[in-house]
Amino acid sequence: MKILVTGGAGFIGSAFVRHMVKKYPHYHIINFDKLTYAGNLDNLREVAHCPNYEFVRGDIENLNFLAWFLKHVDVVVHFAAESHVDNSIGNSLLFTKTNVVGTHSLLEAARVAKVKKFIHISTDEVYGDIMEGCFKETDKLAPNNPYSASKAAAEMLVKSYVKTYKFPAIIVRPNNNYGPFQFPEKIISRFSTRLIQNRKVPLHSPNPVRTYIHVLDTARAIDIIMHKGVMHETYNIGTRDEFSNLEITQKIIAFFGKDESYIEKVDDRLFNDLRYSVDYSKIKALGWEQEISFDEGLRQTLAWYAHNTWWWENFPECQYNK
């Protein structure tokens, strides 16, 4: 089987690529990535020389190239996206261009090339927020920021191809992911790198609640969906590991032996969803179970950032003159 992974040098995409390359030596895994600021081939060092791994630098908006290239591909797993909410508030048009137009271009290329399966990676944020209970896959979408709106729009395009062309697609909506190799712009990766540098952490709102899942559990879930998922269905991927922004911050600070004087309160986003939570019974019915507990996963992740400063210290976001 030949599998093309878009955005395979990004955080979740690279975890999926590493998982697939190591688990399925008889599959050919192609990492197709534009290498924007959050794409990093260092994420793939451990598999870069494997005979079943290949890297192709390219843009998902390049319809003509992809229509030709995908003729030799069986499955597309589409991670490539702009994903940081704060960035979407500051530059929303880029998110529409990449997440909507880019997805449309990739869909059309895959349709023309007659790929056998298309796994579209979305987000739980497309549902909007929920104060109690959990969203099911059949609940309506009500995104509240430009990022989640662009991902919801991309889903609508996928669904339109399913209806119009009987296109072989499956949609996946994961919770907040964390783990090694996450670009230092999300709360766990950003706060850990700042504390390692003895810097304060900018907490913009203590109250929002997020549900967290380790990126390797997500990679395994997508693997299962790719092999066992029902065509044209949608699958949530989640856990019950819910924490407020303040609780997460306190856990990170405690790990590094700091106190709450290291919390710097900053202005909140223009809008901030209060809580995300999904029902993931559908993916469990396929045989998936969470393997990495949050406490253990968080400890491993924070230790990884502490022991792998080479990976992040040269990013502009981490430059700091004491």
Strands 169-174 and 234-237: parallel
Catalytic residue among 33, 53, 82, 147: 147
Q: Which residues contact 148 (CB under 8 A, 6 or more apart)?
A: 85, 123, 125, 126, 128
Hunting for tokens 């008889």 — which residue is that? Answer: 26
53 carries an active-site annotation: no
262 carries an active-site annotation: no
Q: How many CB atoms lie within 10 A of CB 89?
A: 15
Alpha helices in 91-206 (DSSP H): 92-95, 102-113, 146-165, 187-196
In angstroms, the CA 21 to CA 23 distance is 6
Q: How many CB atoms lie within 10 A of CB 95?
A: 25
Closest CA to 227 of 27, 9, 53: 27
Catalytic residue among 33, 59, 82, 125: 125
In angstroms, the CA 168 to CA 111 distance is 9
Catalytic residue among 59, 82, 124, 217: 124
Give the residue numbers annotated as catalytic, written as ranges: 124-125, 147
